[in-house]
């Protein structure tokens, strides 16, 4: 029996009030042979049953009360560092069930086809997004961010999607710091600066399996996230150490 390519991986899954979708996501992960100890639910101050669902499923629960997508991700990284756990790969995905785990093999195949690859991004643009899964502001903000990266860095991205895989050491080399929605953008800009071998792989993106989106669920949330992402772009591009 061959070993799954993600056998030496950890799955970092930020979650905020995802009691409706999280059980479905965990069942899908278990269906791919992913062990409970490989799954870190990064609870970001949920007021519902999200933490208890993680506990009952036997997965790792990391609680980060400071709100922010990046803050939750950083908490997961710190958890692994503190316990001296060094997986080969880190998988980032959402807890709302919109990421299609059938694409997991495709993401990992990029590393086996080119061992020099550091970072693989699941692109909803190259693949397909179910109608209604992304708001107009999300689509426009994603396009604008990728356009700015191409203009200022000369690298063509098609997406800032949440479904992504990095080598553990490559992730640490990025020294990511943004605690908010600028996390993915910071990751991609710093990966360029570090001269990473980056690949985009087409993925399917569906509607969330329950609950309400923290970004597209309301106009104000979408606007705030968009402003924050643009702020992070210009901060990293013009006001930070270009060597990092």
DSSP state of 101: G
pLDDT at 220 over 90: no
Average pLDDT over residues 143-162: 96
pLDDT digits (tens, 9 = 90+) for 28-47: 999 999 999 999 999 999 99
According to the model, what pLDDT value does residue 193 have? 97
Residue 214 — pLDDT band, cuts 50, 70, 90? low
pLDDT digits (tens, 9 = 90+) for 58-107: 999 999 999 999 999 999 999 999 999 999 999 999 999 999 999 999 99
Task: Copy the structure tokens of residue 198.
Answer: 């980056």
For residues 233, 236, 237, 239, the Cα torsion angle rounded to the nearest 10 degrees is 130
The domains located in the chain, with CATH, are 9-238 (3.90.550.10)
pLDDT at 153 over 80: yes
pLDDT at 216 over 60: no
According to the model, what pLDDT value does residue 135 have? 86
Lay out the sheet containing 119-129: strands in order across: 60-63, 39-43, 9-15, 89-92, 164-167, 119-129, 198-205
According to the model, what pLDDT value does residue 239 have? 84
Nearest to 157 by CA among 113, 199, 109, 203: 199
Average pLDDT over residues 125-149: 92
Q: To the nearest whole number, what is the mean pLDDT of the chain?
A: 93
Name which residue leads in pLDDT, 224 or 47.
47
Average pLDDT over residues 211-219: 61
pLDDT at 228 over 90: no
CB-CB contact of 110 with 196 (8 Å):
no
Of all residues in the chain, the percent with pLDDT exceeding 90 is 83
Average pLDDT over residues 100-126: 98
Nearest-angstrom CA–CA distance, 121 and 123: 6
How far CA 163 is from CA of 11, 66, 80, 120, in Å, comes to 10, 23, 20, 9
According to the model, what pLDDT value does residue 178 have? 95
**Other beta carbons within 10 Å of 47:** 9
Query: pTM for the complete prediction?
Result: 0.93
């Amino acid at each position: 029996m061959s070993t799954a390519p993600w056998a030496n991986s950890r799955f970092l899954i930020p979650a905020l009030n995802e009691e409706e979708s999280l059980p479905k996501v965990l069942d899908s992960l278990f269906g791919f042979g992913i062990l409970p100890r490989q799954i870190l639910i990064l609870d970001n101050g949920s007021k519902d049953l999200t933490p208890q669902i993680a506990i009952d499923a036997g997965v790792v629960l990391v609680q980060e009360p400071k709100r922010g997508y990046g803050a939750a991700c950083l908490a997961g990284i710190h958890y692994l560092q503190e316990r001296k756990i060094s997986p080969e790969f880190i998988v980032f995905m959402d807890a709302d069930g919109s990421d299609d785990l059938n694409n997991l093999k495709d993401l990992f195949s990029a590393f086996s086809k080119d061992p020099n690859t550091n970072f693989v991004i699941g692109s909803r643009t190259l693949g397909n997004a179910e109608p209604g899964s992304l708001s107009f502001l999300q689509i426009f903000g994603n396009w604008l961010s990728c356009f700015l990266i191409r203009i200022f860095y000369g690298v063509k991205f098609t997406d800032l999607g949440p479904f992504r895989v990095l080598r553990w050491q490559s992730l640490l080399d990025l020294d990511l710091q943004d605690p908010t929605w600028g996390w993915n953008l910071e990751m991609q800009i710093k990966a360029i600066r570090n001269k990473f071998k980056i690949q985009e792989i087409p993925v399917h993106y569906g509607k969330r399996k329950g609950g309400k989106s923290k970004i597209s669920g309301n106009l104000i949330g979408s606007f705030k996230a968009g402003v924050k992402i643009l702020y992070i772009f210009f901060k990293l591009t013009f006001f930070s150490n270009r060597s990092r």
